[in-house]
Structure formats: C-alpha cells, structure tokens
Amino acid sequence: MTTVRFGTDGIRGIAGETLTVELAAALGVALMQQHPAGLVLIGRDTRPSGPALASALAGAIEAHGGTVIDVGIIPTPGLASLVAGEPRAACGVVVTASHNPVEYNGLKVLARDGRKIPDAQERALEAAMEGALAVGVQVVAPSASHAAEAEEYRGRYARALAALAQTVSAAGLRVVVDAAHGAASPFAVAALAATGATVLPFAMGDGVINDGVGATDPAALGEQVRAHGADLGIALDGDADRCVVVDAGGRTIDGDVLIALIALDRKGRGVAGSDRAVATVLTNSGVERHLAAHGITLERTPVGDRHIAERLAAGQGGFGGEKSGHLLFTELSPTGDGLLSAITVLGLVARAGIPVGEMADAVPLDPQLQRTVPVPPGEGERLLAEPELQTAIREAEAALAQTGGRVLVRLSGTEPLLRVMGEGPDHAAVSTAVGRLLEVAASLVRGR
C-alpha cells in the first residue's frame, strides 16, 4: 500500500515519481469524505507539473460530489486569503512545492479559515488517501472551466494587496523585486508600486521557478540591486509566502534580523500585541536578547510557520516569523504572505529614513551554522534514532553549553535531509560541534 505523509508544509515529492496525479486524485476523494459536496478553491505556482496535478485533484472532487473553482496561478497566501474570505468555501488546496526545485511539487491543504490544517486532520486525510489508493482511484478531468471566476478571485487578492500598499508611503525608495519565476510574478510589481516606490522587476516568470533566483538563492538579486543602484531588494520564493531582503550593497539580511527590525518597529508604533513576538527554535539567541532589552518577549515554537500561526492565534494575535523569511501578521492575513511582508518592509525602511543595511547592523547575532546531510527517502527517522548519532548530539550539546551555545538536529519536513544547527558565542566551538555531527551522520548514511 502507498504510504502518504504530510510534512511540515503539505505533501511533497518529485512530480511524476513520488507525487503523482493518482495521489492528487486520492486527495480529492479524501477531501470529499471530510467535506461532502463542499466547494474547494485550488491554486498553483508556475511549475510545469502543476496543471496536471490540479486537474486530477479537481476532477476527483467533482466526481465525488464537490464543486471546484481553479483560481490558477496565485501565491499560497493569496489563496489562503480567498478561502478565508469566501463563505461558501470548505477548504483550499495549493499545488506547490514552495522553495523546492522545479522537479518537485506538492499539495498544501488550507482549512476554512485559510490556515494550514492541524495534525489530526492531516492524519485523517492520510488514512483516507491510502484507502482510496488501495482500491484504485480514477484520474478524470474536471467538467468545466471557471476562467471568469478565476480572474475575479485573483482580482480580489490584487486589490487587497493594493489596499495595504496604499497605507505605506515609500516614495523615493528604489526596490528590485525577485519573484523567483513563481506565483507572485503576476502580482509583485503592481503591489509594491502602490506604495509609491520605484519597482524594478526581476525573475518574473520567464525562467525556471527557484532556479538560481528567489528567497533561497538571493545572490542574483544582490547583483541586480547593485547594478541598478537600488536601495534594497526583495526576494520571494516559488509560492510567495517567504520574503528575504538584501541591502543596497547586495548583502542578504539574515531573516532573524528582519524579525527583530519588524518587532521593534511595531513596538515603536504601539501596534497591539507588540510586546511579544513569536519565532521558532532556529531563531538566533542574539535576537531574543536584543528584543528583551527593548521590552519585547520572544516566544519560541517548533520549526514551521504553522506552529507560529497557532501560537499567535492562542495569544490573541501579534507578529511572528521564521529565519527563512516566513513572516506572519495576524491582523493582515491568516498565513505568511511574502508580498504583504515586502510592503511592510518598505514602510519600515521609509519611516526609519536610514538604509536597511545600517538598521540590520544594529542587531547583534551569535555565530550560527546550519548544514544538511542528504538522507535516503524513508530512512530519516531511523538515522536520527541511531545510538552513535544520539551520542554525538549529546556530546555536542555538552560542549556548546559550556560557552552558552546550543545545537539542534532535526529532519527536514519538506526534503530528504538531516538538518544540523549549531549556535554560540564561540565560533570555533560551534564549527567543531557541527562538523563532528555532520561527519557522524554522513558516515551512518554511507554505511546503510
């Protein structure tokens, strides 16, 4: 029987291999078991595999009594806001692998409120999908096109972006925006230009999604910023839920620094809930100390923006973010939105009146290393449980604790990788500890 697994951000795999049209159809069957006769909004990024997966998903939903509106290419947070704002919608699905390379794709399920579904619902969907695959699912095309409705829905999202942008006065700023050839390509320039900034487009859909561009590879954006003499650059990822910033010199600003700058700006403006911010266990300890010195408590969650959203909701709102560039503003959107984040950053820089690089330099960070080890698919849990690796982890923890440092070893929720993070005031000690963990993990992988 096929084993279906939701990771930290939906189901992901290599399109046509571990993520098939049959799997997409099985999700459609499972969703109709949870939401009989429900309306499902579907969106996707720009991957070539997206249309076939979206069609299989939509066809299965219709075949089992549901209704579908395929919105087409739209950022994940755009579809999330549409689901939350559409009273008829039961849920939404985005066909995307976010920041992953083009050969990957994914199925990201959004709840009625636009947020990612909870673990219990994921487990129920997994079981229902496995049941459907065991008896066989038929892949059929949806019955009709909804082109006019899709255009109207995309227009709703574009108007919401413009409405926020018009509350920001960023005239005089020059910004390069990198859409990663992804889902933000139809929306990014107009959204940021509505702030009054001069917007220079880059990677706007005429190339391969996430290939040498975007939030996970901002070096090319840095070159564009320098070449155009821009004040800053904004990099989005493939489904536009991340926002990464580069300064006028092309230097990437650490995502943790961005969290600190936004939290301090909100505190200075007296935004409700600005005495707290939420981040994950990966966020640099220097940020936590810096915010505490300004009267802001940093609360930590497990890795994944879903956990941040849950903590924010439990605490009656506020701001939170991940080092990777996921930023969440509960008063603006049910999920992290790279374009809303970019608009917020432009407002912050315009209000400060000083270069964003200079602002970033004022935030102290502890030396931190993050490295990965490729793991054979399906072997991650066993590798992490290996006694030799567990012993090495304990030794690294003890060594770094002597200087106030820490180590974190975990499996990626989106790729077959073991992730190792070390942090502390002594860079040499951090490097040694991380190097040893990588050596042990790689040796165990080779020995399998």
Q: Where are the alpha helices (DSSP H) in 294-402?
A: 305-314, 338-352, 356-361, 380-385, 387-401
Which is nearest to 236 in space by CA: 265, 208, 202? 202
Residue 83's contacts (CB-CB under 8 Å, 6 or more residues apart) are 41, 89, 91, 92, 110, 111, 112, 113, 114
Residues annotated catalytic, as ranges: 98
DSSP 15: B
Q: Which amino acid appears at position 42 of this protein?
A: I
Residue 84's contacts (CB-CB under 8 Å, 6 or more residues apart) are 112, 113, 114, 334
Is 429:405 a contact under the CB 8 Å cutoff?
A: yes
Q: Phi then psi for 438, rounded to 5 degrees?
A: -65, -40
Q: Which amino acid appears at position 236 of this protein?
A: L
Please report where in the chains the tokens 């973010």 appear, as a residue. Answer: 321
Is 286:323 a contact under the CB 8 Å cutoff?
A: no
